[in-house]
Structure 1
Amino acid sequence: MRDAVLTIPPATRAAIDGRVHSRRCGIPSHRFSSVAFGLARTIARLTSIDGVSGHDHRRPALFANFSSSGPKTGCEINLPPSTAGTRNSKSGRLRFRRARREQLGTGGCKSAGGSLMKTLYVGVLVALWYLFNIYFNIYNKQVLKVYPYPVTITTAQFAVGTVFVLFSWATNIIKRPKITSSQLLVMVPLAIAHTLGNLFTNMSLGKVAVSFTHTIKAMEPFFSVFLSAMFLGETPTLPVVLSLAPVVGGVVLASLTEASFNWIGFWSAMASNLTNQGRNVVSKKLMDQKESLDNMTIFSIITVMSFLLMVPVTPLMEGIKFTPSFLQSAGLDVKEVFVRSLLAAIYYHAYQQLSYMILAYMSPVTHSVANCVKRVVVIVSAVLFFSTPVSRVNALGTAIALAGVFLYSRVTKLRPKKPKSA
């Protein structure tokens, strides 16, 4: 005989759900401040979190569903017919409570509380991702303004990242990878592209305003589509092509009215777009195999490889100028330059790590949208911190470009999937 589903009046349901939520989930709603709920809700909506597990892209239940009959936790109570029919008697009420405790103890309600906590956790990660990116750009720009040696600064950042990676491997914070010689060989071009991408970004930041560098870097989708079509055979759909028009137009408009415009800074940012997206394309083309490594492992390995690539190149290009004697001869505060350079390197590696951590909880499209929002936050923060002069036309161009990036992030979700070959 099939079990009957007990129909509970709205008032009783609300009371039961309130007790279930507090006793079983261990997350009573009154213990969360409005600020915490606001942070989770804002970031989750802003980044459109598709899922809170590795490859589950369904939207999680951020908060309890509310209806006219009161709050619902999503925990259904299925009771045997004998229990359902005898609730009016004392023995029936006892059987009802016992059955309810047994079914609620199976973990159905805990999943709702777990979903909320995971969503809040992802929201905190996204907030830290944005914050660390802001700090990196501010400290990095401050150093490059007084110490115009981007090759040396890039090497220092990879050096700090290498220390982090080796420490994480030694302490098993990150599992030490077991890679083959063929995999290591495949990652050499990835490391070269990664190195050039960061070097060109630092070159651009040293020449133009932070806001302008990030406005130009908003053209990354254009290079992604172009390189994917050339090397991966991925033909873009019409909506994707149309979404790139405001990106290109906005960057052109912002460039024409940029007060800090500099051709070296402009082309360095464009080269950064090319190399970073080239790295992604090469990664798709060469690492598309069963024994491919996860993104965090790849990032850790190419960080170490990038440092090894930069060590012999730096003295040849800029000499050995990151020394106390050289900084003093240049009239710089040695401690100030060292501390800010170290902080910039730490925040750089931290936000890169967070980016890959967040990607494990989001779909690539959602992560792209979050990255677009991050760029807006960085641009606004840099303009306010450095008091960068921005004309209305320049601001309009930047807004159009970023809106185009957001549109591109959404329309890429509409691309038809390739049929799997037998």
Structure 2
Amino acid sequence: MQSAAFGLSSSTPLLRSRRPSRPSPSAGSFFRTRSHQPSPIRNALSRPLPLLSSRLVGAPGWASGRSHAPDRKRAEVLVARASSSVPERAGGETSSGGGLLGTLQLGSLFGLWYLFNIYFNIYNKQVLKVFPFPLTITTCQFAIGTALVLFMWMTNLYRRPKISSSQLAAILPLAVVHTMGNLFTNMSLGKVAVSFTHTIKAMEPFFSVLLSSLFLGELPTVWVVLSLVPIVGGVALASMTEASFNWAGFWSAMASNVTFQSRNVFSKKLMVKKEESLDNINLFSIITIMSFFLLAPVTLFVEGTKFTPSFVQSAGLNVKQIYMRALIAGLCFHAYQQVSYMILAKVSPVTHSVGNCVKRVVVIVTSVLFFRTPVSLINSLGTGVALAGVFLYSRVKRIKPKTA
């Protein structure tokens, strides 16, 4: 193995002493008589230059025993797990910051997460109620998110990632299920009450356990199975007494559960290589852009250009009002997911799951109050039991099975 450190000696051609082409006898006599004595210049040139050689170790262009492969050296593995509506961050508990300031910052993020989610569900429901084109609305929301991501990258508000084609190919399945999950959610919101959609979506843990068992061979513990009983029972009880119940809205919400939780399977089956700059927020940003380009052609083929001012006006709708509500819904749609990733970077997945359960309660209560949704006692009981089961599930997930 050739070393990068080297010395300059008198044998180096460029530094060899030049002799006159025709030396005089006196000069020749001088060289013959002095040749047996060591020359200070030759000794100096025969010693390596420590400063130069130390700086040249590992320098580009010189042979070295170390491999300089930045992709292999810097690349790491990201398992983009999905928990509820966002991928779950691998790892355990992390500290959220220092003291009171960190607590206030984390509390503010949770408040923004809930606030953006409330506004998204209210404005999104108002639009879908009078404009029943979920493909168009979902595409517009991804378009708004794409515009925000590009603005964030171009203005250096957030560092733009360096990503390879192989990484994009690995992220593509996650973008597909992300697109389908949000589309099915909007389809459900357009058919049934917001509170009922979120009650059905409380069954996400059930599908997470089911898909992990079928495709990954991960058998749940007894405590996890027991926590699923109130979830399934509560959703069934709420469905039987739901005033706005219809099968299209019910199955759309169920399909949303399946697609969102299938990200667990994809993320564990597919190892997504990422550079240091590709964190969870950039991963979500890339998924948002890919979702827009995936859904836009389908929307044009199925629904056409339905969101033009002329079409909206011909439907008897207020163009300015619909556009403004759709814009607010799209901004809140991207904002609440972005904030969710920021929270996930500060807390453990279990804490995030509990916060997501509380968020669902807040959304259900506010939507019932805002839309004045008729709710019976049995319906409220079923919703409460289902949400209590979700909270219980998030707690028992921390219990690790004993290994022999």
- TM-score tier by shorter-chain length is 0.7 to 0.9
Alignment of 1:1-400 (within 5 A): 57=93, 114-287=98-271, 293-400=278-385
- C-alpha separation between the residues in 1 aligned to 2:215 and 2:236? 27
SS in 1 for 2:120: helix
Which 10-residue stretch deviates more, 280-289 or 216-225?
280-289
Over the aligned positions, Cα root-mean-square deviation in angstroms equals 1.9
- Which residue type is aligned with residue 374 of structure 2? P
Larger radius of gyration: 2
- C-alpha separation between the residues in 2 aligned to 1:367 and 1:354? 12
- C-alpha separation between the residues in 2 aligned to 1:229 and 1:243? 16
Q: Shift of residue 170 of structure 1?
A: 1.1
SS in 1 for 2:205: helix
- Quick one: structure 1 residues 238 and 289, their matched pair in 2 at CA, closer, same or farther if it must change by over 3 Å? farther
- Quick one: structure 1 residues 56 and 282, their matched pair in 2 at CA, closer, same or farther if it must change by over 3 Å? closer
- Does the 8 A contact of 2:239 with 2:379 survive in 1? yes
- Which residue type is aligned with residue 208 of structure 1? V
Q: Shift of residue 247 of structure 1?
A: 0.2
- C-alpha separation between the residues in 2 aligned to 1:417 and 1:277? 26
- C-alpha separation between the residues in 2 aligned to 1:364 and 1:139? 29
- C-alpha separation between the residues in 1 aligned to 2:181 and 2:94? 33
SS in 2 for 1:372: helix
Identity in percent: 70
Q: Shift of residue 169 of structure 1?
A: 1.2
- Quick one: structure 1 residues 269 and 417, their matched pair in 2 at CA, closer, same or farther if it must change by over 3 Å? farther
- Does the 8 A contact of 2:212 with 2:264 survive in 1? no
Which TM-score applies when normalising by structure 2?
0.75
- C-alpha separation between the residues in 2 aligned to 1:368 and 1:58? 15
- C-alpha separation between the residues in 1 aligned to 2:91 and 2:393? 22
- C-alpha separation between the residues in 2 aligned to 1:204 and 1:418? 42
Q: Shift of residue 284 of structure 1?
A: 2.6
Q: Shift of residue 229 of structure 1?
A: 1.4
Q: Any unmatched runs of 5+ in structure 2?
A: 1-89
- C-alpha separation between the residues in 2 aligned to 1:145 and 1:153? 12
Which 10-residue stretch deviates more, 165-174 or 254-263?
165-174
Which TM-score applies when normalising by structure 1?
0.72
- Which residue type is aligned with residue 57 of structure 1? E
Q: Shift of residue 165 of structure 1?
A: 0.7
Determine if the alignment matches structure 1 residue 404 to structure 2 residue 389.
Answer: yes
Measured against aligned partners, the alpha-carbon deviations of 1:36-82 in whole angstroms (never above 9, x if no partner) come to xxxxxxxxxxxxxxxxxx9672778xxxxxxxxxxxxxxxxxxxxxx
- Name which structure has the greater RCO, CA cutoff 8 Å, separation 6+: 2
Measured against aligned partners, the alpha-carbon deviations of 1:275-294 in whole angstroms (never above 9, x if no partner) come to 01112321232136676943
Q: Shift of residue 325 of structure 1?
A: 0.4
Q: Any unmatched runs of 5+ in structure 1?
A: 1-53, 61-110
- Does the 8 A contact of 2:117 with 2:363 survive in 1? yes
- Which residue type is aligned with residue 254 of structure 1? A
- Quick one: structure 1 residues 314 and 418, their matched pair in 2 at CA, closer, same or farther if it must change by over 3 Å? farther
- C-alpha separation between the residues in 1 aligned to 2:272 and 2:151? 29
Over 4 Å off, 4+ runs: 288-293
